[in-house]
Structure 1
Amino acid sequence: MRGFAHRAVLVTGGTGGLGQGVVPVLLSQGYTLTIPYIDAAAREALEKQLAAAELANVRFVAADLNNESEVAALVERMPQLDAVVHLVGGFSMGATAQFALSDWQQSFRLNVETTFLVCKHALKRMQSQQYGRIVTIGSRGAVEPAAELAAYCAAKAAVVAFTRAIAAETKGKNITANVILPSIIDTPANRAAMGEAQAVNWVSPVAIGELIAYLISEGAAAISGAVIPIYGNA
C-alpha cells in the first residue's frame, strides 16, 4: 500500500460468525477497523477473541444499520474511511407459496437495505477524497438459486446488481466495488444447524477474510465490478 496511507476500514457484521474470522485477518495485515454493532454480547465475545494489541486498532460503535441517520453519523464520525467491508446479512428459507410478506421484506431489509445505506454514505466520503474500496457479500444462491430460498437468493442477487452498479458509477475515480459469493460458510451457527459432517467442504471465514484483504488493498485497484465465487469444496 502506498506509504501505508490507506488503512481505515468500516467492517459491518464484524461481530458475527463470518466477522469473527474476517476481523483478525484484517488486523493482522495492519488495518484499523471501525465495527458497528447492536448486540453487546456479540461485541464482548469478539473482544475476548482478540488480543490486547489487536483491540488497540478496533473501534466499536453502537449503530442500527437500517437507520439512515445512524449510518450517516457512523460514517461522518470516522476520522478516516478508506474501505467498507459489508458483512451484515441474514439467511431465510421457506416454500414460496407459504412465505410471509413480512419475512420477505425482512430479508431485503437485512441484506439489501443495509448494503444501500452503508454504501451510500461511504461513497460520499470516498468520492470527495477520490479513493475507496467497497466489498459486499452476496451468496452462491444469487447466481444458483435453490428451492425454498427465493427471498434469500433474490435479496443476494440484488446485492450483486447493486454492487456492480456502484462499480459502474465510480469507474475512473480510484474507487472500486466488488462482491464475493460464498457457498456455505463454516461458522458455529451453520455447524449447529446442519451438523459437522460436511463442514470440511465449506469455505472458512479466514479464507474469505484473505480475499477481502486483497480486494481492499491498493494492489487491487484494477479490480472493480467483479463477482467472485468462493465455494470451497461445497
Structure 2
Amino acid sequence: MRYPEGVLALVTGGASGIGAATAARLREAGVRVVTADLAPGADEKLDVTDPDAVAAMVAGIGPVGILVNSAGIVGPSGPLVDLDLDAWRTTFRVNVEGTFLLCRAVAPQMVAAGWGRIVTLASIAAKDGNPGQSAYSASKAAVIGLTKSLGKELARTGVLVNAVAPAAVSTPMNAHTDPAVLARSQSLTPMGRFGTAAEIAELIAWLCSAQVSFSTGAVYDASGGRATY
C-alpha cells in the first residue's frame, strides 16, 4: 500500500485490540504512527471525551494526515428499560463525542494540506441493532451518520472519510461483553467465527492509503458474511 512520504497517523484506542493492530500494520508500511489511549502502552495518554486534551495533543504532535478513530466502549448490556442513564451517556460520549472531537481537531489540517484519510470504527450492531446492547448499537449508528455527513462535507478537499463496521472481534474490549450477546453474534455470522484485530486492521490500512481515491462517506463491512446491506 502507498502512503504520502512522512505522513503522520494518529490512532486512538491504540493500546490494544483493533487500534494496536492498525498501528502495527501502518508502521509495517512505513507510516509514522502516534497511538493515543487511556490504557498503558500508548504513545500519548488521552481521554477522547476531553475537548481540551484532544486539542492540546493534536497541536503537540504536528499535522495529522491519517486519523483512525478506534477508541470505543461496549457500554451497558441489558434491556433498554433497565439501563442507567449515566452509562448510556458515557457510551455516547466515548463512541460518538470522542469521534467528533478528533475529527473536528484534525480535519482543518488535512484540508489545508489537500490530503487526508479519516477512518471511523462503527459496528455491524449499528446496522442490525443488537438486543441487549441498545446503547452500543445506537452510538455506533451515530458514528455511521457522522461519517457519511463529514465525508460529503469534505468530498472535494482531498480528505476521505470512511467507516469500518466489524462483526464481533476477539479483542480486550469484548472481554466483559455478555457471553450471550457474543454467542448470538457468532451464530449470525456465516463464517461461524469471530474476526481478528489483524483482519480489521488490514481493511483500515487500505482505507488510509493513497490507493483509495474515489470512496468517501462509505461503510465497509467486515462481518464474516453477516452484513445484509
Q: Name the TM tier (shorter chain).
A: 0.7 to 0.9
Aligned to 1:39: 39
In structure 2, give the amino acid aligned to 1:208. Answer: I
> Which has the larger share of helix?
1
More divergent stretch after superposition (181-190 vs 191-200): 191-200
Change (3 A) 1:141 1:129: same
Structural RMSD (CA): 2.3
SS of 1:85's equivalent? strand
Contact 2:16-2:172 at 8 Å conserved across structures:
no
2:128 paired residue among 122, 140, 144? 144
Deviation of 1:130 (Å): 1.6
Q: Which residue of structure 1 aligns with residue 22 of structure 2?
A: 22
Distance, in Å, in 2 between the alignment partners of 1:191 and 1:171 is 37
Residue 225 in structure 1 maps to residue 209 in structure 2: no
Distance 1:205 1:6 in 2: 25
Task: Flag structure 2 segments of 5+ consecutive residues without an equivalent.
Answer: none
Q: Determine the C-alpha separation between the residues in 2 that align with 1:79 and 1:110.
A: 24
Residues 6 and 224 from structure 1, CA distance in 2 versus in 1: closer, same or farther, beyond 3 angstroms? Answer: farther
Aligned residue runs from structure 1 range 162-201, under 5 A = 162-188=146-172, 190=174, 194=179, 201=193
How many equivalent pairs are there? 217
Q: Is the 8 A contact 1:203 1:233 kept in 2?
A: no
TM norm structure 1:
0.85
Measured in 2, the distance between the counterparts of 1:149 and 1:14 equals: 24
In structure 2, what is the Cα distance between the partners aligned to 1:153 and 1:127?
31
Instruction: Return closer, same or farther for 1:124/1:4 CA change in 2, 3 Å cut-off.
Output: closer
Q: Aligned partners of 1:165 and 1:215: how far apart in 2?
A: 17
Superposed displacement of residue 80, structure 1: 3.1
Letter in 2 for 1:119: C
1:173-217 per-residue CA deviation (whole Å, 9 max, x = no partner) reads: 100000100000122553675499969711111111111111111
Residue 45 (structure 2) aligned to one of 49, 62, 68:
62
Counterpart position of 1:50: none
Gaps of 5+ in 1: 47-59
Return closer, same or farther for 1:97/1:75 CA change in 2, 3 Å cut-off: same
**TM-score, length basis structure 2:** 0.87
2:142 counterpart of 1:158: yes
Match of 2:85 in 1: 101
- Cα separation, 2, equivalents of 1:78 and 1:14: 15
Report if the CA contact (8 A) 2:37-2:71 is conserved: no
Q: Which residue of 2 aligns with 1:52?
A: none
Letter in 2 for 1:79: G
**Per-residue deviation at 1:17?**
2.0
Cα distance, 1:2 vs structure 2: 7.0
Find the aligned partners of 2:73 and 2:174 in 1 and give their Cα distance: 12
